[in-house]
Amino acid sequence: MRDSIIGYAHDYGEGVEVDKEKAKHYFELAAMLGHAGARNNQGNIELNAGNVDRALKHYMIAVRSGYAKSLKQIQNLYTNRHATKEVYTTALQLYQKYLWVRLRVPRGTRLPKPMINIVIVSIE
């Protein structure tokens, strides 16, 4: 977590000079330690650099850890035709699996209303 905070500070100039390379480095360190938010930030960095495939890989790892912002990013990429239906469907399934395991809800049980409203999109 510390590495992610340092990365954020360098990314936005919070108490230090803005240094995108240092931010990327600290986000990488935090992501390697399992910080889903840092993994999402790596996806954002790759997306801004035009590396959609690499961004999707980072987002998928973060989604597997239950990071809803990464799921939203994948949804946006799918909506804008930068991600396939299969990628988006896999992301939804990974996030649902995370919720079932994390919330320990028996399969077949409907999620509470607020959980259902996280992603409302038609996959057609």
CATH classification at residue 49: 1.25.40
| pLDDT (0 to 100) of residue 111 | 59
3 inside domain: no
Number of domains in the chain: 1
23 inside domain: no
User: Which three-class secondary structure state does DSSP give residue 36?
Assistant: helix
124 inside domain: no
pLDDT digits (tens, 9 = 90+) for 32-88: 999 999 999 999 999 999 999 999 999 999 999 999 999 999 999 999 999 999 999
Q: Which domain holds residue 74?
A: 34-116
| pLDDT (0 to 100) of residue 83 | 96
The gap from C-alpha 9 to its chain's centroid, in whole angstroms, comes to: 19
Query: In whole angstroms, what is the distance from residue 1 CA to residue 15 CA?
Result: 17
